[in-house]
Every structure is written in structure tokens, then in C-alpha cells.
Amino acid sequence: MIIAVTGTPGVGKTTVSKLLSERLGYEYVSVKDFALERGIGERVGDELEIDVDELADAMAGEFKGRDVVIDGHLSHFVPADVVVVLRAHPRLIAERLEKRGYPRKKLAENVEAELVDVILVEALEENENVLEVDTTGKTPEQVVEEIIGLIEKGITRRVGVVDWSGVYDDVLPYLDLGG
């Protein structure tokens, strides 16, 4: 089974993916590491710009028939049996990205992306089986238990779990509203 774990930077993808792969006995794969090893994409400043079609083709060929957890904010573009979209309160994302030293503009872009469900919408456009999981206030272990529980119950689609529309005022200081 291929499980793709995706979400806005700062939601806990890597921590959850590594724990999930360990618990299930699956191989762990980082999208970024895979792309770098295979020469997919190109460096633009500090960023790695990845061609998602090339990534999807390469990963589909490499991991077909294997048990793997694919970690990365582009993993929802890779053919997977189930895509797990991790979500977190936008203020929490802002705080985590600040600690990582993200530039103000990049931080604002990611807070806005979480606020308006960008990754979830992309995941739903690309995949049938999408599980949305709110990580806010949960330990990584609790998130992994929730994911495993959903998969074991045969739930293949669970969305609409998160609605950040009520927290706009809370995250206003982190947004780049121009002007």
C-alpha cells in the first residue's frame, strides 16, 4: 500500500510520516530526497522546484506494489492508495515556520494556504481516497493512531474535518495583505 502524507509546511508531515512508516513496517520516503537523488526538478535559490508530473511518474514506477509512506507537501500528486492531508491551526503553522526562520513572505503564503485549504483542494483534484486529519493539539502518536484507525476501518474518504474560516482575525498579523 502506498500512503502519501501531505500538507502545508509546518503541519507535522515528516514526524508523522516517519512514525507511521515505523508503526506499519513500511518504507519511508521523502519526496524532496527522492527528487534530489533522481535529478527531478531544479534548485531556484534555496528552493527545489519539482516537476510534479515527472515526480509522479518516477515514484509510480519505483514504488508500485510496495508498502511505502511518502512524505512531502507534493506527495498528493503521486499515485497513492490513500492520501493523508495533515492540517494544523494557521497560527501554529506561523509559529513553527517563524522558528524555522522562514522569510515573512513565505510564512504568509503558507499561513494563507492552510487558511484556505490549498493542499486539501489539490489532493481532492488528484485523488479519490483522501483522509483529512487535524493535528492541532494532538501528539504525533495520536495523529498516527487516528490515521491507522481510519485505514483499518476501511475509510477511504474523510474531508471537511477542518474549517479555519473562524480564525481569520487570529492569523491576520501573519498574512501579507499588500498595500
Q: Point out the annotated binding site for ATP.
A: 10, 12-15, 100, 138
First-to-last C-alpha distance (Å) of the chain:
48
Q: Strand, coil or helix: what is 72?
A: coil
- What's the pTM? 0.95
Closest to 68 measured CA to CA, from 13, 18, 119: 18
Q: Tens of pLDDT along 39-75?
A: 998 877 777 789 999 999 999 999 999 999 999 999 9
Q: Tens of pLDDT along 124-134?
A: 999 999 999 99
Distance CA 28, CA 47 (A): 22
Q: Of how many residues is the chain composed?
A: 179
Q: Output the pLDDT for position 124.
A: 97
Percent share of the chain, pLDDT over 90: 87
Q: Tens of pLDDT along 94-130?
A: 999 999 999 999 999 999 999 999 999 999 999 999 9
Average pLDDT on 83-87 reads 98
Q: Point out the annotated binding site.
A: 10, 12-15, 100, 138
In this prediction, residue 169 has a pLDDT band, given cuts at 50, 70 and 90, of: confident
Instruction: Return the number of other C-beta atoms located less than 10 Å from residue 133's C-beta.
Output: 24
What are the structural domains of the chain? 2-174 (3.40.50.300)
Q: Output the pLDDT for position 120.
A: 97
